Amino acid sequence: MLDHRSVNENLEEVKARLAQRNAQVDWDRFSSLIAERSQAIQAFEQRRHEQKTKSTEFGRYARDPEEGPKRRAELKELSDLIKDLEKRQGDLEAELEEFMLHLPNVPHSSTPVGGGEEDNVVVRTVGEPGSYDFEPKAHWDVGTDLGIIDLETATVVSGSRFVLYRGMGVYLELGLAMFMLDVAREAGYEPVMPPYLVLRDAMVGTGQLPKFEEDAFKVDDYFMIPTAEVPVTNMHRQTILEEEQLPIKYVAYSSCFRREAGSAGKDTRGITRVHQFQKVELVKFTRPEDSYEELEKLTANAETVLQRLELPYRVSALCTGDIGFSAAKCYDIEVWLPGQRLYREISSCSNFEDFQARRANIRYRPAGDKKPKTRFVHTINGSGLAVGRTIVALLENYQQADGTVTIPPALQPYLGGKKVIRRGEW
RNA sequence: GGAGGAGUGGCCGAGUGGUCGAAGGCGACGGUCUUGAAAACCGUUGACUCUUUACGGGGUCCGGAGGUUCGAAUCCUCUCUCCUCCGCCA
């Protein structure tokens, strides 16, 4: 959420910046809300002050047969008026809050300006796509032939857009997760396994709600997490941290659940877009002045996984038209998939600045000075990595002509020393 | 699920209708004293928000929401969380 005061102070600039990300905003409504709210608050507070003064004074006259009833009646009238004023103030504040919750974040100055995916900027390409003396297959063929990905059975059990891993597919999933956790641990992240069901407030805190409710699965009053970013970022909601604690770094392993509303027909083959997948997520809480440096580091931490797995990839800076609702800056890490001959997103690393912190009310107290005012932290997160898509990348990049898949050395210790995945072996 | 109990400032803990944002203690910070430190003593010490160039002046918040009242930390209703006992359970 943006701060309505600073938006109001920099109105023209914010208008222009949000227009770059194609946000439709009723700015006239914003301006009138600001004015009405301020007016309502002042009216209420003025009367409230009057009431406090007179009520205290009333104590002296309460039992006076002359003054008592007279003053009581007068105060009753004032009290009724105040109730109306208070309600009006509350209504306006709620309306402004609702308005602000629907505004996306302002893109950072380093975010490329552009209308859509085609305007994203590749900032680096790492590793060379391998060469194959046969036609590399897509992962759905490789995985199905090996018997480690069973899409047909998943459909029987749960319908479309689900995956069922079996045999070595299971160990691949868990081994990769452990490997990624270790990479993050080396970089100083504390491991977390969060709840998969969260309160509505948590979803509002990280920006999934109220605007994107149709994207989430709901169970009773709970929401199923679309990413561990939600429970992990909200670990510190409504709290004031000490500056010495920052940066706080967590790595979480969790399943993620997404409706994939609005992506009908997109990526229907294979396991790149399913309703449930697992992901290792990196989350940081930092001082504002450090957040962009920390974003670079976090992105590098995610890249380490690909480098050790020796998978070719590239990193793109998303443009203003393609960036997520809550993000000010975002890098996508895309892994090369020879079977499909394309780069596919495997991680998305974003700096939200204080956008989430303001929603979830996550602050810190600067060290040093006598009476430091609390400030909002900056939050950063990124996948490190999406496990399912990493399996996709391994299957497509390490497939052999005979249908087997070799396991990169860095991962072998996590798979009991196994070097090759063969059909029927687990 | 049933029966009790409890939620107050960074922490502990008083406070059952008015002058309470809230005693007292601890902690932290500043100062006096000291060669230095400790002790002692004095002082400061919540968040948010409106208004103001500034100085300042208001308002809100005692788990949350609503209600009663001229006036609520205090009374009422609902709700959330935690603790104890019983039941159930991976």
Q: DSSP characters for A382-406?
A: EEEEEHHHHHHHHHHHSB-TTS-EE
Q: Which strand B bases fall within 7 angstroms of a protein CB?
A: 18-19, 29-30, 47-51, 58-60, 66, 69-71
The model's pLDDT over A139-186, given as tens digits with 9 standing for 90+, comes to: 999 999 999 999 999 999 999 999 999 999 999 999 999 999 999 999
Q: What is the distance between the alpha carbons of residues A274 and A87, in angstroms, rounded to a whole number?
A: 46
Starting at the edge strand found earlier in the chain, the sheet holding A218-219 runs: A197-198, A222-224, A218-219
Catalytic annotation, pick one of A50, A86, A296, A345: A345
The pLDDT value given to residue A11: 92
The pLDDT value given to residue A245: 86
What stretch of H or E contains A76?
helix A67-101
Contact criterion met (CB below 8 Å) for A51 and A75: yes
A6 is catalytic: no
The pLDDT value given to residue A371: 58
DSSP letters of A211-268?
Answer: TTGGGS-EETTEEE-SSTHHHHHGGGTTEEEEGGGPSEEEEEEEEEE---TT-TTTT-
Which residues are CB-neighbours of A75 under 8 A, at least 6 positions away? A51, A54, A55, A58
The pLDDT value given to residue A267: 87
Distances A114 to A20, A118, A349 between C-alpha atoms, Å = 7, 8, 19
**Which nucleotide has its C1' atom closest to residue A90's CA?**
B60
The pLDDT value given to residue A65: 74
Distances A296 to A243, A299, A302, A303 between C-alpha atoms, Å = 21, 5, 10, 10
Model confidence pTM above 0.90: yes
Q: Is the CB of A62 under 7 A from strand B?
A: yes
E strand map for A244-399: 248-257, 276-286, 313-317, 329-337, 342-353, 362-365, 375-376, 378-386
Q: Is the CB of A373 under 7 A from strand B?
A: yes
Whose CA is closest to A104, among A26, A33, A233, A2?
A2
Starting at the edge strand found earlier in the chain, the sheet holding A239-242 runs: A239-242, A362-365, A375-376
Q: Is the CB of A255 under 7 A from strand B?
A: no
Q: Is the CB of A370 under 7 A from strand B?
A: yes
The pLDDT value given to residue A238: 86
Q: Is the CB of A363 under 7 A from strand B?
A: yes
Contact criterion met (CB below 8 Å) for A208 and A1: no
Contact criterion met (CB below 8 Å) for A135 and A43: no
A258 is catalytic: yes
Complex-level ipTM: 0.84
Å between CA of A175 and C1' of B89: 31
Q: Is the CB of A72 under 7 A from strand B?
A: yes
Q: Is the CB of A31 under 7 A from strand B?
A: no
A110 is catalytic: no
**Which nucleotide has its C1' atom closest to residue A42's CA?**
B50
Which residue has the least CA–C1' distance to nucleotide B28? A370
Contact criterion met (CB below 8 Å) for A285 and A291: no
The pLDDT value given to residue A156: 95
Catalytic annotation, pick one of A37, A71, A359, A389: A389
The pLDDT value given to residue A368: 65
Å between CA of A92 and C1' of B10: 34
Which residues are CB-neighbours of A89 under 8 A, at least 6 positions away? A37, A40, A41, A43, A44
Q: What is the distance between the alpha carbons of residues A415 and A391, in angstroms, rounded to a whole number?
A: 13
Which residue has the least CA–C1' distance to nucleotide B59? A45
Q: Is the CB of A93 under 7 A from strand B?
A: no
Residues of chain A with pLDDT under 50: none
The residues of A between 218 and 247 with beta carbon within 7 Å of nucleic strand B are 240
A273 is catalytic: yes
What stretch of H or E contains A191?
strand A190-192
Catalytic annotation, pick one of A161, A258, A358, A359: A258
